[in-house]
Structure 1
Amino acid sequence: MTDFTIQHFQQVADQAKANAGSVADGLKQCFEQKYTVEAGDLASLPTASERDALNEPGLLVGMRVGNTGIVVVIPESFPLPEWYREPNESQKARLGTIGMEWSMALLPEELMAEDFSSHPFDNLNSAIDLVTPDPEAQWIPLQATAEGGTPFTLYLVGPVSKPCLDPKEVAQKATQEAKKEAVLEGMAYSDPSGAMTEEERRTRMARVMKLKVDVSVRLAEKKIELSQLVAMAPGSLILFDKACEELLDMYVNNTPYCRGEVVKVGEHFGLKVNEVGFHMEREARII
């Protein structure tokens, strides 16, 4: 599949003007309100400091073609409905189709989007940088007006390297990096003299990080009577209270570290990590 390029985005500018009615229909199907849309002229993407008007929450609709793509920036003041941050199943379906509708209206005929997304972001200005625009990226203002309403401006931005970026994944990655840094700091060698440089400290830490630890995954556990244990024979069945869909616990040196779900990788099984650094919950004993 051909990646989306700046040349393709210039074609999108023409498509946006020619198919403004289809763009408006996509808004209507998603937000259940009739709009008119007018596409503006193509322009170079301003720097973050020049996009102060987008320092607000909103929605990023992504369309991926190959390894790149485009996004549509929709400010919360559009106005977006209150449900856009936590949509129900029906609303998720509507958000899921708006990218598909727009891809058919905006992309050149020879291109087909492979993936679509609609994610809320706390700050659209920062979100534009997170999706990694091409150095030559441009944007197209789309003036959308609801019946009897005030005109608002949406923005079509491209090409970008991560059009379907999920902000939750960004937050999880940042948390993991912070935990990693905290581990490094917590394991740092003491240096009473203060003579060790930062580079020397990190070199020593790098050696420590090569140490191997025992990792094990625990399916479930329970207490049984000794008589049950003694009576076990081939074919005996032991039932556990843990449901099949529950996450499994992974231990590092017999200490709980994370939780995840079982996946099959070829002829082996693996653990897809869902939670890191969880706290074990245990019932209080009654004495």
Structure 2
Amino acid sequence: MADFTAKIKEQVVAACQVGKDEASEALSRALGSSMTLEVGEAGAYSAAVAQEEAGLAILLKVDLEAAVILIPESSGLLPDWYAAPDPTGESKLATLAQELGMLLLPEEFMPLDFKAGKIENIRAGLKKAGCGDASACVSLPLSGENGSGEALLVWPAPQGDAIFKSSAAPQQPTDTPKNDPKLNVEEKPKPAAATPPPPQRTGAADYHQLPNYAKSLLKIAVEVNVTLATKKMRISEITELGIGSIIQFDKSCEESIDLEVGEHRIAQGEAVKIGDKFGMRVTNVLLPEERFISIKGNRRVR
């Protein structure tokens, strides 16, 4: 695999062009407003192209390196909750990061990990992430119902995780007079509050929450057959068939019919008429056939 360096600008731009429509849909779902993503020019990264303002940072870890997507707050496209998301908001941002990583980076550089959250200063955050003269960037113009702006895709970011580290200076403890015993009482640290577990998903999985490779599998077209009845006949009987011949089946009209995919029965149902068309109403979904294989152990020889 090629190195994840600034030299792959053409590959990144090509991937963005292919995935921009699905990326627009992913952004619209996660951020709650319709928006469109376009692909601008690629070039060398410099601090001058990064905004000095707060925004959403999406970290995409690729092996030992990382890429960062940044959406400025001034675009008006970020919802109020993105700064302090609840568990539902965190899930939306995590899903968005995963989808954009699959859609905007070349296939050979699929991210292994994802993270998204607010940073107070985009330019300072990229500096902490190690983005400099050896990095490249692609402009991603965004427009939507609530505003417009320019997002950035920057890579490689050698210290990508550092982009979320706070730049606030730690508070210095106040001096306590040594001659006052009341003020020299050592306070025990309070136990940290337990972090609530993430909510468990119930019910069928949402199509939009599936990873990109799973969505691709679901788009594969397969032949579906409905079998009314079957019968074995001798070849001599088949050769005697002609126009107007009637074949009698042992199956009753009231019995269920089978739905098959790839010669495997997946459901049963009943025949229905929809206008002048024939249809099938599914009444029972069949589970995959279970196969048990006996494991023979070695016999002991006495």
TM class by shorter chain equals 0.5 to 0.7
Give, in angstroms, the shift of residue 5 of structure 1: 2.2
2:38 is paired with a residue whose SS is: strand
2:134 is paired with a residue whose SS is: strand
What is the distance in 1 between the residues matched to 2:102 and 2:150? 21
Aligned residues: 182
Cα distance, 1:164–1:24 mapped onto 2, change above 3 Å: farther
What is the distance in 2 between the residues matched to 1:83 and 1:62? 19
Aligned to 1:46: 46
Aligned to 2:29: 29
What is the distance in 2 between the residues matched to 1:104 and 1:45? 22
Matches within 5 A, 1:158-237: 158-165=155-162, 167=164, 169-171=165-167, 175=170
8 Å CA contact 1:115–1:164 kept in 2: the answer is no
1:96-137: CA deviation from partner (whole Å, max 9, x where unpaired): 111100111122222221111112111112111111115321
Aligned to 1:88: 86
2:29 is paired with a residue whose SS is: helix
Amino acid at match of 2:13: A
8 Å CA contact 2:60–2:113 kept in 1: the answer is yes
Give, in angstroms, the shift of residue 91 of structure 1: 0.9
Cα distance, 1:66–1:150 mapped onto 2, change above 3 Å: same
What is the distance in 1 between the residues matched to 2:115 and 2:58? 6
Task: Select the structure that is richer in helix.
Answer: 1
8 Å CA contact 2:131–2:156 kept in 1: the answer is yes
What is the distance in 2 between the residues matched to 1:135 and 1:126? 15
Q: Does 1:153 align with 2:126?
A: no
Cα distance, 1:141–1:6 mapped onto 2, change above 3 Å: same
Give, in angstroms, the shift of residue 7 of structure 1: 3.2
Give, in angstroms, the shift of residue 22 of structure 1: 1.8
Matches within 5 A, 1:44-123: 44-47=44-47, 50-51=48-49, 54-79=51-76, 80-123=78-121
**Among the aligned pairs, what percent are the same residue?**
24
Amino acid at match of 2:97: G
Q: 4+ residue runs of structure 1 moved beyond 4 angstroms?
A: 254-261
Q: Which runs of 5+ in 1 are unaligned?
A: 187-253, 262-287
Aligned to 2:226: none
Amino acid at match of 2:148: P
Higher Rg: 2
What is the distance in 2 between the residues matched to 1:120 and 1:107? 22
TM-score (norm 2): 0.53
Q: Which runs of 5+ in 2 are unaligned?
A: 176-184, 193-302
